[in-house]
Amino acid sequence: MEKINEKAAAQNTAAFFSLINPPFKFKLFLLRNLPAAYFSGLRILQADADACTVSIPFKWFTKNPFRSTYFACLSMAAEMSTGVLAMAHVRGHKLAVSMLVTGIEGKFYKKATGLTLFHCNDGEAIQNVISIAVSSGTPQEIKSHSIGKNDRGEVVAEFWITWSFKAK
């Protein structure tokens, strides 16, 4: 029975990625559900069950008075890189699972003056925490890590997004 559930969960997760990986479908999702992300130019560059990379450009809509990307836009991209993984694995379960950001921490190292790529590779850890929340019936938290780098590969910022999961 457990093998069947794992297979169904993997299929649901794959179906989720087939919905968000095409750029046009993802732009429509953003426009409808997250208009600030849409107008900021946030994009998913790569997403699968293990990792997600999201880009945020430096442009008029994302800039601050110091000629760099506004910290809230950087935070939004970092959160999206972890949230896509969480959404995918939540959809993988038969039971409804609620998810909520309960904390965010950030460190900034350089001015973000161009395209910034945020990468999170906590997919497996997120999947495990969600499985524990579902099987135990108790809320679980995970602190996901997302690293933002510029086009030269230099770390611009790091974020730790705390997600809470609870089976309904």
| Mean pLDDT (the chain, rounded) | 90
Residue that is written with structure tokens 């095409």 in the block: 22
At 2 the pLDDT is: 45
Residues 100-106, mean pLDDT to the nearest whole number: 98
Domain count across the chain: 1
**Phi-psi group of 41: left, alpha or beta (phi > 0 → left; psi -120 to 50 → alpha; rest → beta):** left
d(CA 20, CA 100): 20
pTM, entire model: 0.89
- CATH code for the domain in which residue 87 is found: 3.10.129.10
Q: Residue 3: pLDDT above 60?
A: no
Sheet with 97-108: strands ordered across: 43-47, 52-56, 116-120, 140-149, 155-167, 97-108
Residues 138-161, mean pLDDT to the nearest whole number: 97
Cα atoms in the 13 Å half-sphere on the side-chain side of 152: 8
d(CA 119, CA 50): 11
Q: Residue 133: pLDDT above 70?
A: yes
| pLDDT tens profile 41-77 | 999 999 999 999 999 999 999 999 999 999 999 999 9
At 22 the pLDDT is: 76
Q: Residue 1: pLDDT above 50?
A: no
Q: Can you give the residue range of the structural domain that contains 116?
A: 2-167
Residues 12-36, mean pLDDT to the nearest whole number: 80
Highest mean pLDDT among 2-16, 20-34, 48-62: 48-62
Whether the Cβ atoms of residue 167 and residue 95 lie closer than 8 Å to each other: yes
Q: What is the 3-state secondary structure (H, E, C) of 33-61?
A: HCHHHHHHCCEEEEECCCCEEEEECCCHH
